[in-house]
Amino acid sequence: MGNNTRDSEEMLHRGHRILNADERHSSALREQKTLLLVDDCKDQLTIFKTILENQRYRVLVANSAAKGLELLEREQIDLVVSDIMMPDMSGTEFLQVIRQTDKLKNLPVIMLTAGGSDFKQTSLMTGADMFCSKSSAAADLPRQIDFVLHTKG
């Protein structure tokens, strides 16, 4: 448990360092965008929420796919970032529901996992716009979000 906390703190520190060094993006665009983060790990939600709020996004969080679907019904979401491996409903199943729902089917989705290339292939085949490894997400996720919002928005 202590090692996970240390890893989480290092990821958060690394994310702050990278974000402070890279301020080329338009904050005006980010202030208008609402992101939904879905992950069953509270520590991961806290880390990514902090990193993305520092990029001036409005960030909503859900600790399950079911809660994510509830937020998608109530809120105007511009992009979803979802973990793949979650109990009850996997991120892939969550993505399938999004793609089969008329008002959500074009919503940009980035899948996030600690797993390998099999997860990436499954995510992209299911309709994810991008895939991000948790090990590099502190650095890569903000850039991927900007890219997807710029190309799909």
pLDDT in tens, 29-82: 445 799 999 999 999 999 999 999 999 899 999 999 999 999 999 999 999 999
Query: What are the residue boundaries of the structural domains of the chain, listed by start?
Result: 2-152
Give the chain's mean pLDDT. Answer: 84
Classified by CATH at the fold level, domain 2-152 comes out as Rossmann fold (3.40.50)
pLDDT in tens, 13-30: 555 554 544 444 445 544
For residue 91, the SS3 value is: helix
The Cα 9–Cα 15 span in angstroms is 10
What's residue 32's pLDDT?
73
pTM of the model: 0.79
